Amino acid sequence: MKEEKVFFQAGDVKIEGLLHDAPGEKGVVVTHPHPLYGGDMHNNVVETIVQAYQEKGYTTLRFNFRGMGQSEGSYDEGVGEQEDVKAALAYVDGMGKTSIDLAGYSFGAWVNALGLKRFDLARRTVMVSPPVNFLDFSFLDYNEKIQLVIGASEDDIGPPAIIKEMIPVWNPEARFSIIQGADHFYWGYNGDIKLIIQEFLEENV
């Protein structure tokens, strides 16, 4: 589906995004993997998350964290990136969307988790392969917004066994879906991610 390039301000930094504007009140902001390892908004998993939501009638906004693509600024170890997320949520809210999800893959899931208590505009969050073996998630305690977590059976950056131990702390009611055979990068398994997200959206309007 058609997306248009947009820019929005995160403090004094201009952020580049891709917006698909759909009718209705539902929207989602999608965050990408680690900028220092080549992650950006064109990542295959990010695109799959965006497609899953678009096909269910959501307005979607994915964007490049500061320092990536045409976004100004530089990598800020998850601190400034939280401001990027907050600004993206405000942008979608400013379009009149009253029900906004926040979805993130890998580093994006970590940044979303870091700011989740402050992201008042996010109704719920979807985490794909939170990198629990690579970044510190010890700060994250119970949050009812954490409703869907997707993992990969062969993922050594976000091992399902470790995520499974953490979910009762994050939200015991959260759904945890493991894609068998996939590793952290999900090549060949994008369709599985889309199916899991769309089933979740159908069951949790």
Sole residue written with tokens 């893959």: 105
Which SS3 state, helix, strand or coil, does residue 165 take? helix
Whole-number pLDDT of residue 1: 87
Delimit the domains of the chain by residue range: 4-203
Instruction: Check residue 23 and report its DSSP letter.
Output: S
Whole-number pLDDT of residue 157: 98
Mean pLDDT by 10 residues, the chain (205 residues): 97 98 98 98 98 98 98 98 98 98 98 98 98 98 98 98 98 98 98 98 94
Whole-number pLDDT of residue 205: 82
Q: ∠ CA(8), CA(12), CA(14), 5° rounding?
A: 30
CA 179 to chain centre: 17
Fold of the CATH domain 4-203: Rossmann fold (3.40.50)
Q: Distance of CA 72 to CAs 116, 149, 153, Å?
A: 23, 30, 36
Sequence-ordered alpha helix ranges (H) in 37-134: 44-54, 79-93, 107-115
